[in-house]
Structure 1
Amino acid sequence: MKTLIIVVHPDLNSSRINRAWTETMREQPETTVHVLYEAYPDKQIDITREQALLDSHDRIIFQYPLYWYSTPPLLKQWFDEVLTSGWAVGPGGDHLKGKEIGIAISTAGTAASYQPGGHNLFTIRDIAKPIEATANYVSAHYLPPFAIHNANHVTDEQIAASQAAYVQHLETVRHVQSTDLITINK
């Protein structure tokens, strides 16, 4: 299965987790890593290029740090500009139909804070509902999210474990209706 990892971190070099994940994903067979902020420092997205990348892969993973319960701004712009009517939705808009879409996300808060009754009140699955809804809207299959929490306090060993867990997640995850969430650093 050809996998496209779309990395969306505004300063990837300063990120221990997303940088490590990106390096690991670059080593995986049948995996393309596409770093949006490197590809588009001027934020002028090449829609034709992006759609061709999506067409040539079976699975799309959006990898990003959680930003105010959402995605980084360039990913929101990417969704708005790339997933066009007649390509992703509407008449003729079946290019993502049957593909798999998932997220790999890092958070500053602890796993306990992303539970009902926790500091953030909602789970990562709840917070990522817009991505899940987007997958549904374009007739793709949504994968259970992969997450690492407490990002500002992880050790090198925990990052290494998360790299291996991320690879394992992509090798084993299936698009079933599930409340499963793969978390690291509880």
Structure 2
Amino acid sequence: MRILLLFSHTYWTDSKVNKALLESAKTLENVTIHNLSTAYPNGTINIESEITLLQKADKIIFQFPLFWFSTPAIMKEWQDRILTHILYGKNPKLLAHKKFGIITTAGGDETSYDGHHGYNLNTLLSPINYAFSYCGCEVQEAYCIYKAKVENLPTQEYLLRLQA
């Protein structure tokens, strides 16, 4: 299975946790890591390049740190530009039957996302999952690394989730 890991981070240069995770993902032969934060520092997304990457993938993973209960801005821009192009372009079935998943990191404890404040993690991520489901993807359960610190990263579980 060919996996496209689409990554973004608002504060990429200061990242420790996600940089460590991406380093471990580089050990997998079937994973293409595409860092939107470095690929598009000015925010201008190359639609044709992104479509080419998606065409080659069997599975698409969004990986990002959860800030203010959402994705970094460049990832939302990617969704707006790329998913709109797919649905209203020449190949609206491009993502049909591909797998889609979210891997996210959070500085807070799991109980911060259990719903007692009004929304749980699955609810917060539901617009992203629904967009990919609407495009024909098989959406997998999201995976969150809570209290994310370099010293206690569950690297093996992360690598298994990438490949699941």
| Common fold: TM-score over 0.5 | yes
Give unpaired runs (5+ residues) of structure 1. Answer: 173-186
In the alignment, which residue of structure 2 is the partner of 1:141? Answer: 138
Question: Relative to 1, partners in 2 of residues 1:89 and 1:164: Cα closer, same or farther, differing over 3 Å?
Answer: farther
Offset at 1:90? Answer: 7.4
The answer to whether the Cα contact below 8 Å between 1:88 and 1:96 also exists between their aligned partners in 2 is: no
Give the aligned residue type for 1:135.
F
Q: What does residue range 17-96 of structure 1 map to in structure 2 within 5 Å? A: 17-85=17-85, 87-88=86-87, 92-96=91-95
For 2:150 and 2:63, locate their aligned partners in 1 and report how far apart those are by CA, in whole Å: 20
The Cα of 1:116 is off from its aligned counterpart by: 2.5
The match for 1:127 among 121, 124, 128 is 124
Which residue of 2 is the match for residue 168 of structure 1? 160
- Structure 1 counterpart SS, 2:17: helix
Q: CA deviation at 1:155?
A: 5.3
- Superposed CA RMSD in Å reads 1.6
Query: Could you tell me how far 1:101 is from its partner in structure 2?
Result: 0.8
Residue deviations 1:146-168 (CA, integer Å, cap 9, x gap):
111123xx351x12xx2211111
Stretches of 4+ aligned residues off by more than 4 angstroms: none
Aligned partner of residue 34 in structure 2, secondary structure: strand
CA distance in 2: counterparts of 1:82 and 1:39, whole angstroms: 15
Is the helix fraction higher in 1 or 2? 2
Higher relative contact order (CA closer than 8 Å, sequence separation 6+): 2
Aligned residues: 164
Q: Is the 8 A contact 1:8 1:37 kept in 2?
A: yes
Question: Secondary structure in 1 aligned to 2:102?
Answer: strand
What is the deviation of 1:110? Answer: 0.6
Q: Taking every aligned residue pair, what percent have the same amino acid on both sides?
A: 30
